[in-house]
Structure 1
Amino acid sequence: MTQLSLATVLAEAARKHPGKLAVVDSATTERITYADLWQQTLGYAAGLRELGIGPGDTVAIQIPNLADFPRVYYAVLAVGATIVPMHLLLTADENAYVLRDSGAKLLVAHSSQLANAVAAAGQAGIDVVSVGPPAGVRRLEDAAAAVPPLRTYVSREAEDVAVVFYTSGTTGKPKGALLTHLNLVLNTMVNVFDIHDLRDDDVVMGCLPLFHTFGQTVGMNGTFRMGGTIVLLARFSGEAAIDLMVKENVTIFHGVPTMYIGLLEAAAKADRLPALRLCVSGGASLPVAVLEKFDQTFQAKIFEGYGLSETSPTATTNQPAFGARPGTVGHPIWGVEVEIARPEFDDRIELMDTGELGEIVIRGHNVFAGYLNNEEATRQAVVDGWFRTGDLGTRDAEGFITIVDRKKDMVLRGGFNVYPREVEEVLARHPAVVQVAVIGVPDPVQGEEICAVVVADPGGVTAEELIEWSKERLGKHKYPRQVRFAESLPLGPSMKVLKRELRKTYGSAE
């Protein structure tokens, strides 16, 4: 069998760039070279072995964007175990479910997360160790200090599971997506070497949550694979991110649309803006109005991409080789096929023609190994070798993929399909709209009615003005009849807008 470990990403970077700065931790002010980070990692790995962790075991990690995240992440890999990254915004009950379902043997939590971690681990009946400042439970640092560090990492087979990502559970309980060493190493390699012009002197902003697949693969693993420097920010705000990027000469920014909106708001008050060379957006659809305004403000182009936890994550992206087209998610990455299939067939994949709207399906080295303990969900998701994304989209004659919407977010108004994203794009262009999400709400006449939930500029705007703006720019069945104002939109752990929460709040709106 082919041997491959995701731990190689850091091990080889330490061999090739020992004296280079790997991590800047803005919270603790640590600045760590590759050689030191790898030695610390091997120390932690020995500590984990001392605590009874070995090949085939599962270890959950609950750590913010601090230097301890990569140290523990690669230590778990180095000892041959599988990682379950815990979301930091979930309740102890929700985390206990993940710990039980994943079969985790140990939870390594940063001391700042300990109250939640101890409660969750208690419910799941497993042990907790802490990293970070002393905090009243056994510390991984102490276990590591008692034994010599590992000499090197434990090798694994390429198809062994490296990381289990729990998907946000929009339908029922979260599902554990099994990502192999091969999935994650290849996605990291293709992101770094096949898509953009990345250099080993690049400084990458690490503000996407590292427990999430985008921040982990594209941000952390990608930076280490190319030998760059990642600057970690534990709590994102536009102001804090701009200050840190200017201070550390950041050249690359990875973010989700809510972060780009936050940076634009903060830019108006900033004395200096960072000299960004490359920006990548994913996680949700980026309104074209935001992309254009960002380009004008920061003099930096955003390349929008697309992927899911189940696809390691990157599946498609705008990339220089094919040209970039705002409003699309570009072309499939190297070694991955992305097609449009008939959404009405559950039991087979029937591909559609250029320009036709259907379900986006993916196959290639990035597709996961299935859902943990859930054969039925795996069978529904992977059909004829293709992963069904649940997203609706098109592919044009030049091969650009456009995401139209989630299958389940489509609104059926008076018998007509309305795709919220199209309405959001129009409203996002109104000068007083900071952020917008469009949902369907029950309606006795139309079945569903279009409702726009808007975060507006302090200057203000009325619902009537926004309805009129939309009416001029959208078909009669598409414009929102209802506008609700909110101070902010509910965000999930990966900074996506939670439309299910909006539907709960506004679903009975008159």
Structure 2
Amino acid sequence: MRVNILRSQSKAPINDDLLARYYMLGAGMAQVGAYRLNQRSFEWQASATVLRSDAAMTRLRALVRARASIAVSASGVAPLGSTPTKPERYLHCATSGSGGEPKVIRRAHSSWMKSFAVNGRVLGLSSFDCVAVFGTLAHSLVLYGTLEAAHHGARILGLHGLRPDRQLAALAREQATILYITPTQLGLLCGGPARATESMRHILVGGGQLSERVATAAARTFPNAKLIHFYGAAETSFVAWSDETTPPGSVGAAYPGVTISIRGDQGASTTGIGEIWVKSPYLFDGYASGQSADTRWDGDCLSIGELGRLDDHGNLFVAGRKSRMVTISDTNVFPEEVERFLATTLGTDTVAVIPLPDAKRGHRLVAFVAGPCTTTTEHDLLVLCRQRLGPLCAPRRVHFVPALPMLPAGKPDYCAITRWAEGNT
């Protein structure tokens, strides 16, 4: 008997009819009305008030209410020219990965609105909710959380520019119920002594690896919240998300409506580590400017150049990005796997592993950790790395530094860290 374990697909493939049913089953139906299948532009419900507004947020609200195509960047929010005869509206937003040249994502409003409907059902989003976001609208996670909240008529709490203790105070004061956040931001938010915030129902964490230390701290700070760690990118939107059945090391099973396949070097399905390909209704249309050699289309399937595998139950394990994979003594090594091990061992979330040229082995790995080493010595840590990871994957040095260069999205700036490493090691 042939068993296909190479594809992870949601149990109920999502089409427009099913999305409509999802939405109508959600708690938000009474407040925001029925989901219209022909809707092509974002909506900003009258009940969706902004609790900490700025010029960019005010501009975004005006353009959404005008049903315009929209461009969002670090410099602000502006309308996009559109063809009046075409009903589809578009969104342009910037992404730079982990330190590469900035690119501008182009996606139809409807590609996000379909996941608004899914999340409306799963999270029970309604006008009674308060959705909190961290960072500026130039970060796609913040932009998504804001537009989803506006679509469902929820209050929107922006916490950019506040200290963690004041962010927690604002969450408690406004009785926030939904939180969109990165692992680094969540670690900072829950890192100090604070009173529990009991109103929080769901915490959606994306943009990096979530450590057990941060998950435990979040459970202490938000005792009534369900923690959902999701995997995706600006190009793909949601790909997978976790629940209580997700095994350690996995980012979860396919998000509703998504099909994940794993392909080897020749494009055929593989049971081992291969390139992650995604088919879903949430994909972007392409780059409005810039490009990425990692991003490739094959019909209606998209790869952003990340490698991983699926287990027998459809859980996705991400090994790392193909462009970051290096060869050490003729063996393929993923720096991300070393980062995950160090983060778990040290109880931190800000780790960067950089490959440097090595005349004998091709490359050697050097690790940088933000903060002091309080649990072990560098020598003992290197010994542990060699024991657990093997001599090829183990870093040759571990540097503990006060802070690492970070991108606005809360991820390490690998280009800046590499330049520093090349000049100081």
Q: TM-score, normalised by structure 1?
A: 0.68
Q: 1:86 aligns with which of 46, 69, 73?
A: 73
**2: CA distance, partners of 1:264 / 1:189:** 30
Identity within the alignment, %: 25
> For the Cα contact (< 8 Å) 1:254–1:281, is it kept in 2?
yes
Segments of structure 1 that go 5 or more residues without pairing to the other structure are 15-19, 26-65, 89-94, 106-153
Aligned to 1:216: 143
> For the Cα contact (< 8 Å) 1:441–1:509, is it kept in 2?
no
**2: CA distance, partners of 1:288 / 1:487:** 22
Tell whether 2:282 aligns with 1:358: no
Tell whether 2:41 aligns with 1:6: yes
Quickly say closer, same or farther: Cα 1:203–1:485, change in 2 above 3 A: same
Aligned to 2:287: 371
- 1:48-447 alignment to 2 at 5 Å? 66-87=53-74, 157=86, 160-168=88-96, 173-193=101-121, 195-217=122-144, 219-266=145-192, 269-270=193-194, 272-275=195-198, 276-296=200-220, 298-299=222-223, 300-311=225-236, 313-319=237-243, 323-342=245-264, 344-345=265-266, 349-353=267-271, 356-372=272-288, 381-431=296-346, 433=348, 435-447=350-362
Number of equivalent positions: 386
Letter in 1 for 2:390: G
**1: CA distance, partners of 2:400 / 2:206:** 26
What SS is found at the alignment partner of 1:403? strand
What SS is found at the alignment partner of 1:495? coil
Query: Deviations 1:148-171 (Å, cap 9, x if unpaired)?
Result: xxxxxx99855x342112221668
**1: CA distance, partners of 2:313 / 2:342:** 28
- CA shift, 1:255, in A, is 0.8
- What root-mean-square deviation, in Å, do the aligned CA atoms of Structure 1 and Structure 2 show? 3.1
**2: CA distance, partners of 1:437 / 1:379:** 21
Letter in 2 for 1:243: A
Query: Deviations 1:278-334 (Å, cap 9, x if unpaired)?
Result: 2111112223443244335543442110121112x22221257xx444432222222
> For the Cα contact (< 8 Å) 2:184–2:349, is it kept in 1?
no
**2: CA distance, partners of 1:445 / 1:386:** 40
> For the Cα contact (< 8 Å) 1:23–1:67, is it kept in 2?
no
- CA shift, 1:174, in A, is 2.7
Name the structure, 1 or 2, with higher relative contact order (CA <8 Å, separation 6+).
2
Q: Which has the larger radius of gyration?
A: 1
Query: Deviations 1:356-397 (Å, cap 9, x if unpaired)?
Result: 2111111221111122267x8699621222111111111111
Q: TM-score, normalised by structure 2?
A: 0.80
Segments of structure 2 that go 5 or more residues without pairing to the other structure are 1-36
- CA shift, 1:417, in A, is 1.9
Structure with greater proportional helix content: 1
What SS is found at the alignment partner of 1:430? helix
**2: CA distance, partners of 1:156 / 1:244:** 44
What SS is found at the alignment partner of 2:340? helix
**2: CA distance, partners of 1:378 / 1:201:** 44
